[in-house]
Amino acid sequence: MNNHMIISVMSKDRPGIIADITGAIFKLGGDLADLNQTVLCGYLTMILSVSFDPEVTKEDVVAAVSHIKSPCKFEVSIKETGDDPPPGDPPEETYILTVQGPNRAGIVHGISSFCYLHNINITDLVTTLKNNLYIMALQLDLRGCDISLDLLRRELDDYAQAGDLTVVLQHNDIFAATHEISLR
């Protein structure tokens, strides 16, 4: 099995969506390696990593999903990546950046632009709004970062000060160590 695809699905949320989608994949003989889904404002979005037999095409998958009987339409997008999926463990240079500050427009854009400027890849991101405090946690891959860690911390400090934000960069292992039983 070496025809690996990334499948993205969006729909109005209702019970049974995951069962329907994974059922269609199962019927095509797909091996589901990973799935991530979230619901925001009543809409579900899901991204799946699936490996199929070589003869299964992208169009077969689209057809299988479109044949699902559902009151609301699925918006499906598929990318064929070819060979097996990359290993799931985050690289050694994975860091968690937390950003907190009063809610205002442009916080996410600002910090993501900062990351882009330094060729830092954002691999995960969650945001929360609580009592007008906007909180962001970003998982970053610093492998391609164009400056040293020390300099990055200094630039983040300057960025935080300029934007009245609290910005903290910590290694991913710290969070694993404090919240998981086994220590890698």
Q: Which residues bind another protein (CB under 8 A)?
A: 36, 96, 98, 124-128, 135, 137-139, 149-150, 153, 168-171, 173-175, 177-179, 183
**Shortest distance (Å) from residue 126 CB to another protein:** 5
Element (H, E) at 87: none
**Shortest distance (Å) from residue 167 CB to another protein:** 10
Nearest Cα residue to 124 out of 112, 140, 144: 140
Cα separation, 41 vs 30, in Å, equals: 30
Complex with another protein: residue 72 or 177, whichever CB lies closer: 177
**Shortest distance (Å) from residue 74 CB to another protein:** 22
Complex with another protein: residue 28 or 160, whichever CB lies closer: 160
**Shortest distance (Å) from residue 179 CB to another protein:** 5
Element (H, E) at 86: none
**Shortest distance (Å) from residue 62 CB to another protein:** 27
Cα separation, 44 vs 16, in Å, equals: 11
Cα separation, 15 vs 84, in Å, equals: 31
Complex with another protein: residue 28 or 169, whichever CB lies closer: 169
Q: At what angle do helices 107-117 and 149-163 cross, to 10 degrees?
A: 150
Q: What is the DSSP string of 98-166?
A: EEEEE--TTHHHHHHHHHHHTT-EEEEEEEEEETTEEEEEEEEEGGG-SS-HHHHHHHHHHHHHHHT-E
Complex with another protein: residue 2 or 127, whichever CB lies closer: 127
Complex with another protein: residue 6 or 125, whichever CB lies closer: 125
